[in-house]
Amino acid sequence: MSENVQSVERALDIINTIVAANGSLSVAELSLAMGLAPSTIHRILQTLTVKNYVFQDPQTKRYDIGPEIVDISSSLYLRYDLVRRVRPYLQTLVELTGETAHVAQLNGATAMYISQVEPLSMVRMFTTPGSVAPLHCSDVGKVFLADLPAARIDEIVRKTGLPARTPRTITDAERLGQELQQVRHQGFALDDEEREVGVRCLSAGILNGAGKVIAALGVAGPTSRLTAERVPEISASVTALALRVATELIYQPAHQDIIAEQV
């Protein structure tokens, strides 16, 4: 085992030991629990502290779980809680449109699918949970980009570029900006064979109480079935259901009963 891999394993063991203790531990206590020299424990703790994975109380000198671990845990809980709670809505979307329904969240400079429900039709779209999509040429990705400040959009474009996935992919930054403005205006994003030839996808944002997009809800289908003529009908179903999810799961504005009746 390389020294780097061993250090990673020991760092994870330290975090797990502190979690299991359900409270702060000293270097001596960690050394005893793990069977490692105090100097080794101290060296790893220094790195974990700098990265905010552990926190040292300045008075007691004892170590506890740091804010980074808390943030990660909170994020994972919210993600998997959303997967569980949004699934009935995905099923509703399948029934309304006859197409594969999916929900995704922003994952750095990509969009990650976290859940999907498929229709019973022979031709189905597969957006496997855990798979990611480029932001510039996917329906879910455009939903997230349209919600970001201009500086962050520019940063992502510089980092990832705008690679062509099909002949219809938007590869010009100015054209992408116009597309995102359209997304903001109409309330949904369209992937019109931009990521895969023969596939059309459409998504709308799920907003939190502050009006920020926390997830994208949408459908995907073959262009032979999800035709351009069906886009107005399907976009109405998707945007109404995304609003319903936000209303019933994320926040509770007034007139919830009126919003719910839209779907």
User: Based on the domain organization, do 81 and 196 belong to the same domain?
Assistant: yes
Q: Is residue 49 part of a domain?
A: yes
| Residue that finishes a domain, picked among 17, 46, 65 | 65
**What confidence score (pLDDT) does residue 86 get?**
87
Look at residue 70 and tell me if it is in a domain: no
pLDDT in tens, 12-42: 999 889 888 888 899 999 999 999 999 999 9
Q: Indicate whether 164 and 211 sit together in one domain.
A: yes
pLDDT for position 72: 66
55: domain CATH number is 1.10.10.10
What sign has the CA pseudo-torsion 116, 121, 125, 130? Answer: positive
Q: Which residues contact 168 (CB under 8 A, 6 or more apart)?
A: 192, 193, 194, 197
Q: Are residues 209 and 87 in the same domain?
A: yes
The reply to whether 97 and 189 lie within a common domain is yes
Same domain, 192 and 251: yes
Alpha-carbon gap, residue 75 to 69, rounded angstroms: 10
Q: Is 15 inside a domain boundary?
A: yes
Residue 173 domain flag: yes
Q: Which helix (H) or strand (E) holds 240?
A: helix 231-245
Shared-domain flag, residues 14 and 86: no
Residue 157 belongs to a domain: yes
* pLDDT score at 247: 86
| pTM of structure | 0.69
Give a yes or no: residue 136 inside a domain. yes
Q: Is 115 helix (H, G, I), strand (E, B) or coil?
A: strand
Nearest alpha-carbon partner for 124 in 226, 21, 49: 226
Tokens of 29: 């206590």
- Give domain status of residue 71, yes or no: no
Specify whether 21 is located in the same domain as 108. no
Q: Which residues contact 2 (CB under 8 A, 6 or more apart)?
A: none
For residue 23, what pLDDT is reported? 80
Q: Give the pLDDT confidence score for residue 65 in this predicted structure.
A: 86
Q: Are strands 110-117 and 100-107 parallel, antiparallel or unpaired?
A: antiparallel
Q: Which of 30, 65, 100 is the last residue of a domain?
A: 65
Q: Is residue 158 part of a domain?
A: yes
Asked if 57 and 82 sit in the same domain, the reply is no
Domain count, the chain: 2
CATH number, domain with residue 227:
3.30.450.40
Evaluate whether 200 touches 190 at the Cβ level (below 8 Å): yes
Residues 7 and 104 in one domain: no
Tokens representing 150 are: 């201009």
Q: Are residues 94 and 218 in the same domain?
A: yes
Domain housing 36? 3-65
Tens of each residue's pLDDT in the chain, 263 residues: 566 678 889 999 998 898 888 888 999 999 999 999 999 999 999 999 998 889 998 889 999 988 887 666 655 555 666 777 888 999 999 999 999 999 999 988 999 998 899 887 655 555 677 789 999 999 999 999 999 999 999 999 999 999 999 999 999 999 999 999 999 999 999 999 999 999 999 999 999 888 899 999 999 999 999 999 999 999 999 999 999 998 887 654 433 333 333 33
Is there a single domain that holds both residue 56 and residue 150?
Answer: no
Same domain, 251 and 177: yes
| Domain endpoint, select from 37, 65, 93 | 65
